[in-house]
Amino acid sequence: MSVRVVVRTVSELCVTVGTVIVLFVLYVLFWTGVKADTAMDDQIAQLERQWARDAAAAGSGGPGTAESPGAAPAKPAAYRDGKPFAVMYVPRLGFTWNKPVLEGTRTKTLKKGLGHYAGTARLGERGNFAVAGHRRTHGDPFKDFPRLRPGDRVVLTDGRTWFTYRIDTGPYRTVPSDTAVIDPVPEKSGYTREGRYLTLTTCEPEWGHSHRLIVWGHLDETQPVEAGKPEALRR
């Protein structure tokens, strides 16, 4: 085989490998984002339809309405694995930033939005409401996570109530095995007693997953959805 043929063969292989790498990068950076954005929009639309049905049922005289004052208010439905139950807003990340929160943190769940750590507190309840999200790929929901600062507000709604949490700590860096960060009273958070806490987690570094970034916050206020948006979401 002549030197010319060898050089040409190697060159063609390099071009092929380079093309594959470029296509893979485009898939990671672009296509997974497109799919995730569509999936997250679908999850929010699904929630809004369910909330509208619930409101219509309540208005027609269902349990716990003014038409049945003796009935106890219906409890929120149990969280179902892989299903959305709330929408999160973080003004620090942009006034158009909103993501669905689903139950569980499995890979397929986090492709559709943020994931609630099963076994941690429910939204607004005593304990630690802990949520994970991708830093990069699959919509980059927590791409700007390092920008979060003490005093920032994180707002969630389950269709009935607005829950406003206030962040108390800047991003804390730890390893994935440090599961104590989602304890009811996380040791490194600075909290010393039981409360209604929020934990947000994402990957670190930006394009890796060797570590985790954590912020903690506490429930600052709640208000019914009928009262309108909370102050944190008003421009």
Catalytic residues: 134, 203, 212
- Please list the alpha-helical segments (H only) found in 60-119: 107-110
Give CA separation, 121 vs 115, 118, 178, 209, in Å.
13, 8, 18, 25
Pair of tokens at residue 59: 């208005």
Give CA separation, 43 vs 112, 116, 123, 212, in Å.
7, 14, 18, 26
CA dihedral over 220, 224, 225, 227, signed as positive or negative: negative
CA dist 82 and 198 (Å) reads 20
If residue 161 lies in a helix (H) or strand (E), which one and from where to where?
A: strand 161-167
